[in-house]
Structure 1
Amino acid sequence: MADNDGEHQNVRIFLWHVPRTISTALTKCLSFMDGMEVWFECFTYCHVARENYIRATGECLPTEHDGNEETFKQAASILASAVGGKVEADRIVYGNIKTKMESSTSKYLLVKESVVSFSDDKVWQYLPKGFKHVFLVRDPYKVFSSYRKALYNHLVSVGLRKGDAADEREFDLKKDDIFVKNSNEYFSMMHSMWKSIRDSTDPDPIVINADDLLANPVEVLQKFCHLTGLPYSDSLLRWDAAPDITKTWKVASGDAIEKAVHFYGTAVTSSEFLPPKPPISKDRLSPDAMQFAKDSMHFFEDMNEFKI
């Protein structure tokens, strides 16, 4: 990833995450690096567009734009109600995104994506080549407790839970997650992606425990930069709290980050990594979050053994 005279060139990083693993804060941190280009969950939006399109129409969304322009306009309109903002039709196409990423001439390129974005074997061919792969993991009890709250609040804020459905006690991750078929599979999908990447693309992908990053950002960021080829400096430890830098990110929806305040609000106004919160008391978890965390633990533990 770096040439012989120490100049860092053409660094390409895929940052894979499950929800609530500090991925947006890490993305913001790295965004201030001179020469950095950020693509923010564009493949994830491709996936979510496909999920919502098939629910609405019963038909599969194509993966190429040419000849399917009207179909993608319809898909963008359907997705807009879920994200609470306008979606650009040509930015929810797997083929388009792959081509644009691979043609980037930026010195550094960071692609932040949920593992769900390539959970369908039909789209694996659109995974861009030439990237170092990084996986963010975290204690599933923390993940699902936080994700359940964020998702419920988001659905209320965009008007998708009204009346009796607005009662949080009626919310159930097993049936009410509009972004994935089954959010219980986040960790199993990440584990499967991690193994596939090791076998076919990157034999030594990086695993970072998000709580390690929060507890000891100097050590984790130094290792991360060394392994990816990015230049480390202590400027990575503090950054501008204003969210303006996010306007430079490549996104599928121009106001996606602003509208999804319950997912991104804290991260986009962050200025440093704060110490992790203590482990969550399991008796405070809802039954759905508790079950999902239990089911996910062995996938997390397997990957966590490889953390940097």
Structure 2
Amino acid sequence: MPKHICLWSGPRNISTTLMYSFAQRKDTKVFDEPLYAHYLSKHPKAKQYHPEAEAILNTIEHDGNKVMKMLLHHSEKPIYFYKQMIHHLLDLDRKFMTKTINIILTRNPKEMLPSFDKVISNPHIDDVGYKLHVNLLNYFKNNTIEYVILDSKRVLLNPEEVLKKLCDAVDIPFYKTMLHWDKGARSEDGIWAKHWYSNIHNSTGFIPYKPKTEPFPNHLKPLLKECQPYYEQLLEEAL
């Protein structure tokens, strides 16, 4: 039976980097945000401010339950890796998660929020993932579903060590090929890539962690205060 891995990430994280990493495995096929159109079709306002919203809605299946059912029928490869965004779970039946390997990917909101605000200004708590991640964590615990939590900074500080731990946790072999890739876009990239993926397209591997030096924006401080307790809870269990 193939393994189906769902990476549940917040925005402006290293989710695309991890997708590129898993794409280097010969035993793995990757998918880029297959629930994006589902989210845009369910959220009352998201299509007004998400880049390429109309194109996404015109090219990707809207029914998220149908999408996940279809994906879980794939069996040509031993491993399938789905880069997913936590907010894309909006109004979705989560029963499929008993059949997937679930990874929560988080990032310090002090670093994530200013980055996200540059693309989508004045975000809300439900746009940035922290509360939704903890809700998902509680769902896993209440339904005895195994999970793994990754913190972006820890991954970037030592990609090989954390990837080895991750591969052990999900019971797959680690390959050093996961650490490097060719510069440029991938065929699996979503049509939104030009708005979000410039850094990964210019990379050939995990970009070393560098702390942000710019002052934290004043208008985001209330949201930071709201996000911080959720992030700290997630960090306690991260690899």
Band of TM-score, shorter chain: 0.7 to 0.9
Given residue 5 of structure 2, which amino acid in structure 1 is its aligned partner? I
What SS is found at the alignment partner of 1:173? coil
C-alpha displacement of 1:126: 6.2
Equivalent in the alignment of 2:27: 35
Q: Distance in 2 between matches of 1:107 and 1:229?
A: 12
Q: 1:297 aligns with which of 210, 228, 232?
A: 228
Distance between the aligned counterparts of 1:173 and 1:32, measured in 2? 33
Q: Deviations over 1:196-224 (max 9, x none)?
A: 12322523x11111001101011101001
User: Superposition RMSD on alpha carbons, in Å?
Assistant: 2.5
Normalised by the length of structure 1, the TM-score is 0.69
1:237 is matched with 179
**Greater C-alpha Rg:** 1
Alignment-derived partner of residue 173 in structure 1: 123
1:22 aligns with 14
For structure 2, which runs of at least 5 residues remain unmatched after alignment? none
CA contact (8 A) 1:16 1:114 kept: yes
Tell me the residue number matched to 1:276: 209
Q: How far off is 1:134 after superposition?
A: 0.6
1:24/1:268 contact within 8 Å kept: no
Is 1:202 aligned to residue 142 of structure 2?
A: no
What are structure 1's unaligned runs of at least 5 residues? Answer: 1-8, 57-77, 152-170, 175-180
In the TM superposition, 1:140-155 aligns within 5 A as: 140-151=109-120
How far did residue 95 of structure 1 move? 2.9
Q: Deviations over 1:206-255 (max 9, x none)?
A: 11110011010111010011111222122222111121xx2136x5xxx2
Separation (CA, whole Å) in 2 of partners of 1:295 and 1:268: 32
Matched, 1:116 2:47: no
Query: Structure 2 length as normaliser, TM-score?
Result: 0.88
2:184 partner letter: A
Q: Distance in 2 between matches of 1:114 and 1:299?
A: 17
The residue that corresponds to 1:92 in the other structure is: 62
Deviation string 1:160-218 (CA, Å, 9 cap, x unpaired) is xxxxxxxxxxx5335xxxxxx8436x211111111112322523x11111001101011
Contact preservation (8 Å) 2:65, 2:93: no
